[in-house]
Amino acid sequence: MSRVSVRTRFLFCATFAVAATVMMAAKAKAQDAEPRSYSNAPVGLNFLIAGYAYTLGKTAFDPSLAIADAQFHSHTEAAAYVRSFDLFGKSAKFDVIVPYSAFSAHALVAGQLQEREMSGFGDPRFRVSINLFGAPALSAKEFANYKQDLIVGVSLQASAPLGQYDDTKLLNLGNNRWSFRPELGISKAWGPWILEIAPSVTFFTDDPDFFNGRKFAQAPMYLVRGSIIYNFESGAWLSLDGSYFTGLRTTVNGVKGDNEQENVRAGLTVALPIDRQNSVKLNASTGIYTRTGSEFSLVGIAWQYRWGAGY
């Protein structure tokens, strides 16, 4: 095997590793409480969520590399728990999500087919959010008279390195590192319409055991997401979603890669109540612009059960 082919194979897997990181994050968010993650809720309300997402996509490489037809797909199940609580008189939420995925990727590398398949748990994510303005902590009785106007909130999400990881493989479901994502959320209501905007930045710690002892570092990911939501009198709601992110340039053993990513996505979310405690959420999204990195489409479904706070 030539030095060029070894380097090309390494870059193929390393780029897929970056692509998988973004894709796994997007899939986890698909089962998250977003959009409407900064809406108010009675104190003491609990949500149990079970979801599934299917993802299909491709990854773009530097044209000078002998890599073609790089594609991947995955099936992801996720379980999540959310609880609302009172924090200094403001409404707040805590949530945790645990994903399990089956992931498959293949590409032609120097004319030869290269494949990678894996399944297992991804890194769990934990988040605390608080609405600083416009959403006081309310009991179920008080909440009956609440009407949203302008809400401003903040959140912090952390991803723990507990997912499946093998340092002899370049591509894994777990990331063997921590990540932290502070976010600002702004939600404004006009009658049944709600506009949400949420900029955030995700910071990553280094992975000191990346592929047989290499040190892997990654630049922050800068993300802005937005939603236009319509609430129906039946309790159903519809959301048009969009997001833009950039960053994620990697460094391996001190050598920076030319792989900064940029992506624009659009999606649709529909939530349908079944009864007072159960609802179903459907969502789909796709990439509409990709300068570098992964371009993928996602469809998902989630069941939600709520209890507590007088429900």
Task: Give every CB contact of residue 35 below 8 A, 6+ residues apart in sequence.
Answer: 196, 227, 229, 239, 241, 269
Predicted local distance difference test score (pLDDT) of residue 158: 96
Q: When comparing pLDDT for 250 and 111, which is higher?
A: 250
What is the pLDDT at residue 108? Answer: 74
CA–CA distance, 262 with 305 (Å, rounded to integer) = 36
Residue 6, pLDDT score: 53
pLDDT for 27 beyond 50: no
The residue assigned the tokens 């499946």 is: 164
Q: Is the peptide bond before 273 cis (omega within 30 degrees of 0)?
A: no
In tens, the pLDDT along 104-138 reads 887 777 677 778 789 999 999 999 999 999 999 99
Does 14 have pLDDT greater than 70? Answer: no
**Mean per-residue pLDDT, 50-54:** 94
Q: Could you report how far apart the first and last alpha carbons of the chain are, in Å?
A: 65
Residue span of the structural domain in which 223 resides: 3-108+115-307
Which of 12-26, 36-50, 153-167 is predicted least confidently? 12-26
What is the SS3 assignment for 122? Answer: coil
Which residues, listed in sequence order, are joined to residue 162 by a DSSP beta bridge?
Answer: none
Cα gap 72→188, rounded to integer Å: 38
131 class by beta-carbon count within 10 Å (0-12 exposed, 13-18 middle, 19+ buried):
buried
How many structural domains does the chain have?
1
Predicted confidence (pLDDT) per residue in 223-242, tens digit: 999 999 999 999 999 999 99
pLDDT value for 20: 53
For the chain, state the CA radius of gyration.
Answer: 20
- Average pLDDT score, the chain: 86
pLDDT one-digit tens code per residue, 135-157: 999 999 999 999 999 999 999 99
What pLDDT was estimated at residue 260? 84
H or E, element range at 9:
helix 3-30
Reply yes or no on whether the pLDDT at 4 is more than 70: no
Question: Residue 57's domain is classified under what CATH number?
Answer: 2.40.128.130
pLDDT score of 172: 85
CA distance 190 to 193: 5
Residue 91 CB contacts under 8 Å (≥ 6 apart), including other chains: 40, 41, 43, 84, 130, 131, 135, 136, 137, 138
User: Of the ranges 177-181, 220-224, 231-235, 287-291, which one carries the lowest mean pLDDT score?
Assistant: 287-291
CA distance 184 to 199: 6
pLDDT: is 28 or 184 the higher one? 184
Q: Rounded to whole angstroms, how far apart are CA atoms 210 and 178?
A: 14
Is residue 54 a contact partner of residue 74, using CB atoms and an 8 Å limit?
yes
Q: Which residue has the higher pLDDT, 270 or 20?
A: 270
Both tokens assigned to 70: 């790089």
pTM confidence score: 0.88
